Amino acid sequence: MSDTSFDVVVIGGGPGGYVCAIRAAQLGLKVACVEKRGALGGTCLNVGCIPSKALLTASHHYEAAGHEMGAFGVKVGKLDLDLAAMMGHKDKVVADNTKGIEFLFKKNKVTYIVGAGSIPAAGKVAVGDTVYDAKAIVIATGSDVTPLPGVEIDEEVIVSSTGALALPKVPKSMVVIGGGVIGLELGTVWRRLGTQVTVVEYLDKILPFNDAEVSKQMQRILGKQGMAFKLGTKVTKAVKKGHHVTLTLEPAAGGEAEEIKADVVLVAIGRRPYTEGLGLDKVGVAINPRGFVEVDGHFRTSVGGIYAIGDVVGGAMLAHKAEEEGVALAELLAGQHGHVNYDAIPSVVYTWPEVASVGKTEDQLKAEGIAYKAGKFPFTANGRARSMNESEGFVKVLADAASDRILGAHIIGANAGDLIAELVLAMEFSAAAEDVARTSHAHPGLGEAVKEACLAVDGRALHI
């Protein structure tokens, strides 16, 4: 096989693409990965999940030092913010991670091709003037920021998530358009650093895809922390004047308009599939009306030998979902039996407290006519949470009324993103709430709240 001929060529070096490439190489296939950014890891690693978590952690430490340490007998003197150093920490985390993926490519003998890839024909990938032959082509080009008509992003005063990760100074005020995961996480970062943050959400609740009780409780908690909300509201216009923006707002259901001014506006209304420049229309790859690449249950597109995974195919637009698809596809291409259980994909909001969920919400179960039992346990009754001064939130477990099989779980609380893993594993093995309830959990630990919620499904929680 020549230097321009491969078993698999992956277009896109994000979580789905690079993981697919590594797994395919582990299985003995000759693999290349094409990435135009010049740094592997995609949006997630470069301008998404990783840098945002670096800033969330750093800003959490800043807020804790200023407002929370006294309760533990730790006295803190005059508090100063070195924003440049905080951004430096973020940038170092990103750089170290991208270099780590390059190392993994070398270790697994994946050919890394820097440039924009396109598909001139089935079995062909063009990068610049070079055309590569591929038995299988994997489209893993991810997603991009969804624009909002009337609000033009300049990444200075009207920013996307990318610009919100690199503001040169702490703004006095920020309007976040969109009450989903990205808006709340980045809004949280800047609120902790001193910005007055107002969230404008078109729907009547934040975190609209989460369990309704979780959304309501999280709005209350974030409100106590100082975040303001305008729900059921749409933004119709943005006017920049110097270093400020004036937004025109209207009730989503119709009514009188109002104006609100801010130093920075963050547009965070979602993401859309990125297929620009791939030439999919010319080669005949089917795209659905929302712009997503259409695939079957084995990630095959409408053109033989061309596959797609991750955000570009829709579903949960999450890095770990893309990774699971990347692994499954690599195994299928190697003649194995890759599979993704879409009912057991967790979702986490890394505010503080964190929000984590997996499976069905109560509203979904009701809409589907599924009889269920709910078990709920508050962190106020968990000894470890109280010792940490982290008693906000709860664990809720939803189980089938007849079989007791866990159908969904929802957590607000400290380290919720880690606690949910136990319930994801339980769902992967079709466990009953009783199985988790009878599993010994270390004391004192936050995980005991998970056990107690499962006990509560049967009405026998011990500590409340």
pLDDT at 1: 60
Instruction: Report H helices in 395-439.
Output: 416-428, 433-437
Could you say which of 243, 298, 339, 443 is catalytic?
A: 443
* 253-286 tens-digit pLDDT: 999 999 999 999 999 999 999 999 999 999 999 9
The tens digit of pLDDT for each residue in 321-369 reads 999 999 999 999 999 999 999 999 999 999 999 999 999 999 999 999 9
CB 98 within 8 A of CB 47: no
Q: Where are the alpha helices (DSSP H) in 334-415?
A: 362-367, 383-387
Query: Looking at this protein, which amino acid is placed at residue 194?
Result: G
Percentage, residues of the chain above pLDDT 70 = 100
Average pLDDT over residues 95-101: 97
- What tokens appear for 17 in the block? 């693409």
Sequence-ordered list of residues with C-beta below 8 angstroms from that of 118, at least 6 positions apart, any chain: 125, 126, 127, 277, 278, 279
Containing 136, the helix (H) or strand (E) segment is strand 130-139
Tell me the per-residue pLDDT of 194-213, one tens digit each, with 9 for 90 and over: 999 999 999 999 999 999 99
Q: Would you report the helix, strand and coil content of the chain in percent, each value rounded to 5?
A: 35, 25, 40
When pLDDT is cut at 50, 70 and 90, the band that residue 28 belongs to is very high
Per DSSP, which regions of 194-257 are E strands?
196-201, 228-231, 233-241, 244-251
Tell me the C-alpha distance between 447 and 337, whole Å: 33
CA atoms of 18 and 8, how far apart (whole Å): 12
* CA distance linking residue 160 with residue 234, whole number of Å: 17
pLDDT of 138 strictly over 90: yes
Antiparallel, parallel or unpaired: β 111-114 and 31-35: parallel
Q: What is the pLDDT of residue 2?
A: 73
Task: State pTM to two decimals.
Answer: 0.96
Q: Is 298 a catalytic residue?
A: no
Decide if pLDDT at 242 tops 90: no
